[in-house]
Structure 1
Amino acid sequence: MTLKRILQKPTPFALAGVLCAVLAGAAEAQDNSPEPMLKKTVQTAVAAAGQRLPLEVPAGQVVQLRITGENVHVDLRDAQGLHLRRLAENGRGVQTAMWRTQGAQHEQLWATPVLAGLPATAGLQVLQTWTSEGPAPLSAADTPMGPQLQALEQAVAGGAGTEAFWQTVQRQGAPLVEPWQDGQLLVTFVWRDRGNTNVRLFGSPSGDHNPLQKLAGSDVWWTSVVMDPRARLSYGLAPDVPQIADTRQQRRMILATLQRDPLNPAVFPTAPWGGLDDIHQGRSVLSLPQAPAQPWVAARAGVPRGTLTRHVVHSAILGNERDVWTYVPAGAGAQGVQGLLVLFDAHAYVHDVATPRILDNLVANGLLPPVAAVIVGNASPEVRGDELPPNPQFARFMAEELMPWVQAQGLGQMARRTVVAGSSYGGLVSSYLGLTHPELFGNVLSMSGSYWWAPEGEAPGWMQRAWQTLPAPMPNVRFYLDAGLFESGRGARDGILETTAELGDVLRARGLRVMQRSFVSGHDYVQWQASLGCGLVALLAPQHMQLSRVRGCKGVPQ
């Protein structure tokens, strides 16, 4: 993949050689937050070797930063200047980071230029701080114990140690996977004690941040989940999750200490954060034995690579700007581009999900014609929540500003060859654009779309009602919808799995063509990287969906 960079308009922080650290806090900060710190603004020149930023928050505080910039990484280092964790990576747009600080005597905040000779700029804003009241209390856990832990429990009770157990886990890799009842598997997540007071699992099928429990008399923390052998998911482990007074924000505190499983070598993305060995970045991956193959995700030797180019596009309608990446397939000059993918959430679908590589592989396999892509970034994480749920102004931006710009790049296609796609809110906005602008977007690819959404005060399911009541004649829009079995609702409330199925029923009842799939996964990029390829083949080359090479796209019954 060839990478180019084009800045079509100066970024708001384009101050040559200057890094502006705006440590301006939100007015709603907790009363026990360090108010003088939150209101402080500092400007610092960035040296070629990097620059320490004067962020001094008392030890024990949980800090949330908003980070913007150009040509710079932002990292935490220890008192000796050694790397602790990366907070923001260059090229990912506006980012947020959360961690529990150890205090200025033990950690330092650094900004480091990436490319020599180019201006390095950044903006930092403290969004929130919370005072930790110590580790969150343990919750009672009632989970089944598998044969390996039962044997360990007996051995420990007899006076044995755990070293042999940990050597086995290190050799085989975590988590532990054992046969269970009715063809299911028991998956046991483990953590080796380091004086911890709690450990939680992030990314389990339940989504409940399962607490791990400690095996009596040992250094083994564990929790188990019964799973379908076709499951694939990403997960992390969070030791010593802090307790705060604000119960509404407590669930988010898992992000302050979240990290990958140090005993699992399978990682997503494959080379997280530019290959940096940082346990806090990326997620660990669990793929059970019958999980569908994802053949177009991995890099392959000899596959021609397309060209990926970064742009910054300004919107007069929205009053903001965003990164927009264009991908042109290899050989497009000879054959011509024969399809277009418009994909939301560039921060994920450029840096985590290797969208260009997926397209390279699909074209090389003969499963797709040469397809170009326009990968649309968010103006900021906060703005994403305003723009992607059905928003007429954002639809105007797409129709009146972005798509004419795409046409000017030479990438525009007829609606029947254009796929608008995304996951979560990105799936929701894709269906909305199919509804509002079918003359531009003739195909909708929705992965775990947020079809529970409705404006405040309305019943859930706005998108379903919008398509159900759309006056005839219906637009010629085709759909690929998928969702994970782990996304089902709880209690009386429907989840993404149920609301996606409901939308599919509505669309079919209105005479539209819909392909619908479910997978044993959750709200997870590890699944979406495969779903993206499945959906593109289903919409742009449906004749290939019967081939053995795409059997991983069959999904499972709900």
Structure 2
Amino acid sequence: MIQQTKTVAFATTAFLLAWTSCVPMQPLCADDAPMLSVGAVHRGTVNSPKNSAKSALSFKLDAKRGDFVRGSIRGKGIQLWLVNQRGQRIRRLTDGEGAMATFLFVVDEPSPAGLVVSGPENQYFELRIDSIILAAEQFQAVNRIESPTLLALQRKLQNGGDTKEFWQRVARDGSPLVEDSNEDESLRDDQALVTFVWRGANHNVRIFGAPSGDHDEMQRLGDSDVWYRSYQVSRKARIIYRLAPDVPVFDGSYRDLRRAILATAQRDPFNPMSEPANPVDRFDGNSVVELSDAPVVPWLDSSSESIKGSVTTLDIGSEILANTRDVHLYRPAGYDPAASGNALLVVFDGDQYLDEVKLPTILDNLIAAKRISSTAAVLISNPSPKSRAVELPCSDDFVRFLTDELMPLIREQSMDANRENTVLVGASYGGLASSYAALKASDVFGNVLSQSGSYWWSPGGEFGKVGSGEPNWLIREFVGADRRPVQFALQAGTFETASDILASNRHFRDCLRAKGYDVHYSEFVGGHGYFHWRYAIADGLIELLGTK
């Protein structure tokens, strides 16, 4: 693991004086000013002199050139400015949009820095300096070994030993290494230390997937043939990953450099567990880790022939979307279209939910166990990846396709259900589409099961794309609209932090509840992908359709 940069917390002196846009700032000196320390919260009110619409409060900050400052400020309409010793504004740190904002900056002036808080008259604010890292204390991050096994190996190598016995152990016991303790004893009782290892590489090794969901770099143990990276992980975790040795590094775009990992990404040669179970070659599929407390999911058992439903496939054209697609229709065993209480799932990314999530098997078992009522499913495939990127992110045309073309056809197939028992199901962009369709057509769809919904999305943009609009567009649409008669089950993975999936789902949950929606929210210990959604979906279905 990479050692975190040391945070130096020390007291800073805060000096308070009146300042407005029309009154020049005085030198930052006031012997009776309140003291602001790193970690403490300064609470105050912006007071305006007579005949002035706005005012400012100035603080002297004990930070010099090169020091790295981090903090936060709360208050509606509050702006925070970095100023020099003469009171000249040199950088706006927060723009006053939203009730809370964080800031960080490096002092680039030779003289001490100052901060100015400005905003509407009588506006309350809270200012906090979280840390100041002195220029002299900043250093290049160094590797820190957490694994007791690797620490012992490091000492052996320093004493002239080799890695032969280590690799014999890994070949015998498998990888990654799963340990109950770590070097600084920071591991909680509900966690394990998971260390991924690779034998021999010339330049680099990266982890594709794993707990971070990013392309994490592995570290080399000295000049040995051992590459490693450790994570503190909940014992409930299921992890899928690939390892990529000697990823090409070249002069290319950010996207091309990211995609280059696919050239060498392969399963872990020391891990026999894989997804799928019978891969074609070492580059096919993913390696799988299941820790000791990973939830047992009985709904994936496909051994019982007597309870299996049927799946038929229709080729459906759309005048609205000007394309055709496969639509898979699942009917449970003994399905009676006239029975009261029937439910219906309308599922996006239908091919993936059919083949990778194995939704028909899950429904077979849930229905047989009487955990949900008799439930049919419409699994809607995508004509192409390009059409998916156009149709699923909040498209009015796609909603019209659902309501005006698809649902009438489904009723002709005798698979209708009332809106209270009709559930929109989707993952990632599909989760976003489910919520948008429910907002626009709540008279047809009464429930949403969203798995890792892409609520970060904004019109005209992809995640992280320069020029994208403000994120969380759909969340704001729900906040601004009247409450619809829709019930939600939202799911997200605790590893989904790099893409803002986890944060945006939590934000959506809070906004929905504030509007009075019935929201079931759960987090699984995993990342972004159908492997993880397979294990979580049954819980969402039971929450929405569970028999009383």
TM-score by length of 2: 0.67
Q: Which residues in structure 2 correspond to 1:285-434 (within 5 Å)?
A: 285-301=288-304, 304-333=307-336, 336=339, 338-434=342-438
For residue 243 of structure 1, what is the aligned residue in structure 2? Answer: 249
Superposed, which structure 2 residues align to 1:107-506 within 5 Å?
Answer: 142-180=143-181, 181-183=187-189, 184-193=191-200, 195-249=201-255, 250-269=257-276, 271=277, 275-301=278-304, 304-333=307-336, 336=339, 338-456=342-460, 458-471=469-482, 474-488=483-497, 495-506=500-511
**CA deviation vs aligned residue, 1:314-346 (integer Å, no higher than 9, x gap):** 111111122221111112149858211111112
Cα RMSD for the two superposed structures: 2.3
Which residue does the alignment assign to 2:520? Answer: 515
CA contact (8 A) 1:430 1:446 kept: yes
SS of match in other structure, 2:426: strand
1:315 counterpart letter in structure 2: S
**Percent identity at matched positions?**
44
The amino acid that maps onto 1:432 is: Y
Q: Distance in 2 between matches of 1:332 and 1:175?
A: 45
**SS state of the match for residue 356, structure 1?**
helix
CA deviation profile, 1:454-482 (whole Å, cap 9, x unmatched): 114642111111111113xx332110011
Secondary structure of the corresponding residue to residue 216 of structure 2: coil
Q: Say whether the 8 Å CA contact 2:212–2:498 is kept in structure 1.
A: no
Give the CA deviation at 1:517: 1.0
Matched residue type, 2:502? L
- The alpha-carbon deviation at position 157 of structure 1 amounts to 4.0
Q: Secondary structure at the match of 2:235?
A: coil
Give secondary structure in 1 for the equivalent of 2:188.
Answer: helix
DSSP 3-state at the match of 2:456: coil
Relative to structure 1, the CA distance from residue 512 to residue 217 in structure 2 (aligned partners, 3 Å threshold; closer, same or farther) is: closer
Q: Which has the higher contact order (CA 8 A, sep 6+)?
A: 1
Q: Structure 1 length as normaliser, TM-score?
A: 0.66
Deviation, 1:225, is 1.3
The Cα of 1:175 is off from its aligned counterpart by 0.7
Work out whether residues 524 and 536 of structure 2, in 8 Å CA contact, stay in contact via their aligned partners in 1. Answer: no
CA shift at 1:429, angstroms? 0.3
Number of residue equivalences = 394
- Rounded to whole Å, the distance in 1 between the matches of 2:345 and 2:168 is 47
**Is residue 141–residue 213 contact of structure 1 (8 Å, CA) maintained in 2?**
no
Distance 1:171 1:308, change over 3 A: farther
CA distance 1:350–1:281, change in 2 (3 Å): farther
Displacement of 1:434 after TM fit?
0.7
- C-alpha change, 1:230 and 1:435, in structure 2 (3 Å) is same
CA displacement 1:239-285 (0-9 Å, x = unmatched): 2212232232211221222222222222224x3xxx44332222222
Q: Secondary structure at the match of 2:475?
A: helix
Q: Distance in 1 between matches of 2:156 and 2:498?
A: 41
| Structure of higher CA gyration radius | 2
Q: Which runs of 5+ in 1 are unaligned?
A: 1-138, 544-558
CA contact (8 A) 1:157 1:217 kept: no
* Structure 1 residues 292-312: Cα deviation after superposition (integer angstroms, max 9, x where no partner): 222212434455211122332
How far did residue 362 of structure 1 move?
1.1
- Go from structure 1 to structure 2 and tell me whether the alpha carbon gap of 1:151 and 1:379 turns closer, same or farther (over 3 Å shift): same
Structure 1 residues 6-60: Cα deviation after superposition (integer angstroms, max 9, x where no partner): xxxxxxxxxxxxxxxxxxxxxxxxxxxxxxxxxxxxxxxxxxxxxxxxxxxxxxx
- What are the ranges of 5 or more consecutive residues in structure 2 without an aligned counterpart? 1-139, 182-186, 461-467
CA distance in 1, matches of 2:199, 2:159: 20
Would you say the 8 A contact 2:279–2:285 is kept in 1? no
1:375-410, Cα deviation, whole Å (9 max, x unpaired): 111111122111110011111111111112222222
Corresponding residue of 2:81? none
Deviation at 1:535, TM superposition (A): 0.8
Check the 8 A contact 1:303/1:361 in 2, yes or no: no
**Hey, what's the Cα distance between the residues in 1 that align with 2:371 and 2:393?**
32
SS in 2 for 1:386: helix
Residues 212, 497 of structure 2: 8 Å contact kept: no
Task: Give, as a single letter, the amino acid of the residue that structure 1 aligns with 2:260.
Answer: M
